[in-house]
């Protein structure tokens, strides 16, 4: 009928995901990532805000080497258009509830890359 909403139960919406490229990474970069993750954990346990900021800055530098794009829906509402993901400061605009998702997506992308 005209004007009637039809719900299709077999339709699945697929969430857009961040895109990564690992072609520029070296073993040295990987070591730095692991070290930054350890530092974040240690600083958090000690409630050392300065050490946490330093570790987060290092993590953002790593992300800037591998992130190609992040869906707009993953960013804070007031994030500017045209963010450049090779700039570590751009990651400050990732939604607070999405940063762990970003790290998880990166890990999944690395695992998938190893299988190919």
47: left (phi over 0), alpha (psi -120 to 50) or beta: left
User: Is residue 14 one of the residues assigned to a domain?
Assistant: no
User: Is residue 8 one of the residues assigned to a domain?
Assistant: no
User: Is residue 42 one of the residues assigned to a domain?
Assistant: yes
User: Is residue 75 one of the residues assigned to a domain?
Assistant: no
User: Is residue 3 one of the residues assigned to a domain?
Assistant: no
What pLDDT digit, counting tens, does each position of 67-105 carry? 999 999 999 999 999 999 999 999 999 999 999 999 999
What pLDDT digit, counting tens, does each position of 41-50 carry? 999 999 999 9
In 12-113, the DSSP E strands lie at 19-20, 67-69
- Domain membership of residue 61 as a residue range: 24-69+81-115
User: Is residue 99 one of the residues assigned to a domain?
Assistant: yes
Count of the separate structural domains present in the chain: 1
User: Is residue 33 one of the residues assigned to a domain?
Assistant: yes
């Amino acid at each position: 009928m005209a004007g009637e909403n039809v719900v299709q139960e077999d339709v699945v919406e697929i969430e857009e995901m961040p895109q990564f490229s690992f072609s520029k990474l070296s073993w040295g970069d990987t070591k730095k990532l692991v070290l930054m993750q350890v530092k974040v954990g240690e600083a958090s346990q000690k409630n050392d805000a300065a050490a946490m900021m330093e570790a987060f800055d290092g993590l953002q530098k790593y992300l800037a080497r591998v992130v190609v794009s992040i869906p707009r829906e993953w960013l804070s509402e007031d994030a500017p258009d045209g963010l450049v993901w090779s700039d570590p400061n751009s990651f400050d605009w990732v939604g607070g509830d999405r940063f762990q998702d970003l790290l998880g997506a990166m890990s999944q992308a690395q695992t998938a890359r190893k299988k190919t």
